[in-house]
Amino acid sequence: MLLPLVQSIPITHIQEPFLEQNGVSLYLLRLEQTDPMISGNKWFKLIYNLEAFKKQHYSKLLTFGGAYSNHIHATAEACHRFDIPVIGVIRGEQSPKLNRTLLEAQQRNMLLYYISRQDYRLKNKPDFIKSLLAKLIDLNYLSKQDKVYILPEGGSNDLAIQGCALIPKLISIDYNYLCCAIGSGGTFSGLISGVSETQKNAKLLGFSALKGANNLSLTINELLKLSNVEKNIPAWEINHNYHFGGFAKTTNELIEFMHHFYQNHSIKLDAIYTAKMMFGLYQLIKQGYFPRGSQIIAVHTGGLQGNHTFEQKQILNWV
């Protein structure tokens, strides 16, 4: 196995006066400390995919993501470490100057290929993949002899779910709720699978980072079926109220919350995923959503590289 199985991850007890007032205990599973580059949940999504790449003797890996994608960043690093040739198919037009995410991916020998947003919507269609591979052969990104491993956007496939199902096994304390931010749905699906094996009576609560992601529940159900996780599924729910305008969108209120959280706990949250989850979680606790006596675990899924743009613009200042 290229990426080793993680044996332990710190769990931080979050202490705030309102938590005690509402009679709940809140803990943060610190996946951002898994690895500085293959961040958080991405480590778990890649474990079995990279193993399959090697075992099945693929020659190139191809994956998809946006210009600020944590998945693109982490996959580039993992492939660089293990000498796996990789192509990143990037949503949208190429900018004159690469942002830090894409620059670091390119520095780790990921070949970047840009497609229109309209074409990007077809990324899961077999006919589109076939035509895409033909174009990449014409451009000498691939050869006709290459055996190409297709890793979906966000790394979310059945093997990613198997990897993310390992995450609940790292939790050494009892809990009633397990909370996680949701993008493509792979991590949340893996958590559902893992909790079904470890703590069946717990409920999972996901916080969508996407605006208008009305089909997200359907996507998660399809991922669970793909991974043969259909029995003994614990209760789960998705909250759509804390996307702050949509994917990668922020507000002054969210940024102030991130600063407050860092000042109180010395923990950086990422603006795209975990900060939105923690903000929503704080609000739900204050509103009495959780019964008194509840033990809540929130998952810090990493992705701190996504803060670089906000830091460069001095929107985020951790001092």
What's the mean per-residue pLDDT of the chain?
94
3-state secondary structure of 138: helix
| pLDDT reading at 105 higher than 80 | yes
Residue 2: predicted pLDDT: 83
What is the pairing mode between strands 111-115 and 203-208?
unpaired
Q: Which residues contact 42 (CB under 8 A, 6 or more apart)?
A: 70, 71, 74, 75, 155, 302, 303
157 vs 159: CA distance, rounded Å: 6
Q: pLDDT tier at 162 (50, 70, 90 boundaries)?
A: very high
List the alpha helices (DSSP H) in the chain.
17-21, 41-55, 70-81, 100-107, 117-120, 126-138, 158-164, 186-198, 216-226, 252-265, 274-286, 308-312
The crossing angle, in degrees rounded to 10, of helices 186-198 and 216-226 is 60
From 177, 176, 180, 175, select the one nearest 190 (Cα to Cα): 180
Is 319's pLDDT higher than 70? no
Question: What does the alpha-carbon distance between residue 29 and residue 12 come to, in Å, rounded to a whole number?
Answer: 7
Cβ pair 77, 302 in contact under 8 A: no
Q: Could you give the angle at the alpha carbon of 212 between the alpha carbons of 211 and 217, nearest 5°?
A: 110
Burial profile 111-126: b = 16 or more Cβ within 10 angstroms, e = fewer: bbbbbeeeebeebeee
Contact present, 179 and 296 (Cβ < 8 Å): yes
Amino acid at 94: Q
The pLDDT score that the predictor gives to residue 214 is 86
Q: Which domains does the chain have, with CATH numbers?
A: 11-37+158-312 (3.40.50.1100), 42-155 (3.40.50.1100)
pLDDT digits (tens, 9 = 90+) for 179-225: 999 999 999 999 999 997 777 789 999 999 999 888 999 999 998 88
Q: Is the pLDDT of residue 237 over 70?
A: yes
State the Cα–Cα distance between residues 115 and 90, nearest whole angstrom.
6
Split at pLDDT 50, 70, 90, the class of 318 is: confident
CA angle 307, 311, 274 (to 5 degrees): 30
Contact (Cβ atoms closer than 8 angstroms) between residue 253 and residue 289: no
Q: Calculate mean pLDDT across residues 290-306.
A: 96
